[in-house]
Amino acid sequence: MASPTLPAERPVLALTRSVGAFTATCVVVANVIGVGIFTTPGFLARDLGSPFAVLSIWVIGAILSLAGALSYSELGAAYPEAGGEYIYLREAYGPLWGFLCGWTSFFTGFAAPIAAACIGFSAYLSLFAPALGPDYLLGSVEISGIKLSLSGGKIVALLALWFLTLVHITGMRRGGRMQVTLTAGKIAGIVALIILGLLLGAGDWGHFRSGEAGLVPSQALSNGAVSLIFILYCYSGWNASVYLAGEVRNPHRNIPLSLLTGTGIVLVLYMGLNVLFLYALPISGMSGVLQIGEKASLALFGPVATYFVAALMALSILASASAMILAGPRVYFAMASDGLFPKRMAGIHSEYGSPAASIFFQSVWTSLLVLSGTFEQLVVYSGFALILFSALAVSSVMVLRWRRPDLPRPFRVPLYPLTPLLFLGFSAWILWYTLRGRPAEALFAIATILFGLPLYWFWRRKASR
């Protein structure tokens, strides 16, 4: 595969519609299913205390994600353009809000999770080759107070990042095929783990019986709020295909189809994995366990399962990183097309038809986060900003229904306005809870958003010249 060169770009502001419903659905599934499902069930078991409560809260999370997906389906079908929330906020609230959303997406929203995913990929590979682990330090240097370190794990993370970057720069056809392959492998591995575990594993269906506290213990009611935050974290990414809206064929049909189908597939896989974990371990055995996937597989199959689970986790994380590398640059491309980001990032590669500059610069920034390690702090507070802008995007459904009643809407949200209000209510509750419980991270997120204000006025003034 020949390496693409950025100078071969031309400033054409239209992407080719080459993405079908299947590929768009794979982007959604890959974006959602990462490491969360293999780590959070232990905390849920500790906080909720019964199998019924654990399984029920995953269904509640799916309902909330479905409410968001239905709202985004109306927006994506009405505005089939690259950019996702940037487009919806621009149309509903004006270009300033769209810019602030896009600026936050570039600084933390995509780059930080991509950096974390690539580091996570190398960490799981280190089971097979310890020299690839994060503790195998090769050297470090401090520049202007920022410490940059290099380890075997970070080298692998950077290689994974730039391999995925180059593939996606070479166009949607090749990048889409890779995404489908990675996602299919991820799904096949999870399905195999579930089926083999339930049929051949040394589990016990008695683990599903509720204890003396009943189906819904009192601790489940008091801890439900925190548990739901974990759940929504695991479901985040259900909106991934809207970022590719400018490249989706028949977007009026395929965007809603990909969002709803992807969310449905994730629900089935999540419920299957939770049933498997409960079959393998009792609630007391799951309680507080971080690496629940590994412990459950060890109980079902013995030590040999550790390597299979590590390989499955590595593949799952790689597919998730690939989906984010694919989706994020479409936001910056749309902003640059509107004159609110460097003009170079609106370029389309003359040979491959991809937003190559946006993909390239996203990975440059991500590489710095990988080397500095600051992505850990960024991930903590970026969630607040992402929930805020997702809620604003969902509210755009109601704002645009009022401001632009004649706008063609090939897809309309069912049970309107209850569906978007359900999502907005829970989002407001999570934001408030985060602001009270983690004020430093929440305020830092708000400061990051506000830092975009002078940049907005700078690009507006530059574009008007």
Bond into 417 cis (ω within 30): yes
pLDDT at 40 exceeding the cut of 90: no
Tell me which of 223 and 458 has the higher pLDDT: 458
State pLDDT tens for residues 376-412.
555 556 677 878 888 999 999 999 999 999 999 999 9
82 closest CA partner among 459, 319, 420, 358: 358
Least confident of 104-113, 143-152, 245-254, 452-461: 143-152
219-225 contact pairs (CB < 8 A, 24+) = 219/47, 219/48, 219/49, 220/47, 220/48, 220/49, 220/50, 220/53, 223/47, 223/48, 224/48, 224/57, 225/429, 225/433
Q: Residue 322 carries which DSSP code?
A: H
Least confident of 6-10, 15-19, 59-63, 158-162: 6-10
In the chain, domain spans: 13-464
Q: Residue 109 carries which DSSP code?
A: I
Which residues have C-beta within 8 Å of that of residue 341, sequence separation ≥ 6? 102, 332, 335, 459
Task: Provide mean pLDDT across the span 96-107.
Answer: 90
pLDDT at 260 exceeding the cut of 80: yes
Helix (H) or strand (E) holding 37: none
Least confident of 72-81, 151-160, 248-257, 408-417: 151-160
Task: Provide mean pLDDT across the span 436-445.
Answer: 79
Asked if the 13-464 domain carries CATH number 1.20.1740.10, the reply is yes
pTM of the model: 0.84
State pLDDT tens for residues 103-142.
988 888 888 888 888 888 887 887 787 777 666 666 666 6
Query: pLDDT over 70 for what percent of the chain?
Result: 89
Q: What's the pLDDT score for residue 148?
A: 62
Query: pLDDT over 90 for what percent of the chain?
Result: 35
pLDDT at 59 exceeding the cut of 70: yes
Q: Are 257 and 21 in contact (CB under 8 A)?
A: yes
Task: Provide mean pLDDT across the span 92-110.
Answer: 89
Detail the DSSP E strand segments found in 243-394. Answer: 348-349
